[in-house]
Amino acid sequence: MKRRELIKKLQKNNWYLYRNGGNHDIWTNGKDKETIPRHPDINERLAKIIIKRNNLK
């Protein structure tokens, strides 16, 4: 999955960028935090785990 696609899913579900790290960004919805790798392509398995863990649509 492209990183952009995952970011759009996060933003549609009211997630916002909390801070930048070295190779990862930290996103939050005010309650939970999620680490998103800063690579153009994110492994499909990892993307599915992030989507499922945070109930993204």
User: What pTM does this model have?
Assistant: 0.88
Cα 50–Cα 12–Cα 38 angle in degrees, nearest 5:
45
The rounded distance, in Å, linking the Cα atoms of 12 and 36 is 16
**5-43 confidence digits (pLDDT tens):** 999 999 999 999 999 999 999 999 999 999 999 999 999
**Amino acid 18: pLDDT:** 98
Considering the domain 3-54 in this protein, what is its CATH number?
A: 3.30.920.30
Q: Which two tokens stand for residue 51?
A: 């989507």
- pLDDT band, residue 57 (cuts 50/70/90): confident
CA diameter of the chain: 28
- As beta bridge partners, residue 28 has 16, 33
Domain ranges of the chain: 3-54
**Amino acid 43: pLDDT:** 96
Q: Which two tokens stand for residue 33?
A: 């935090």
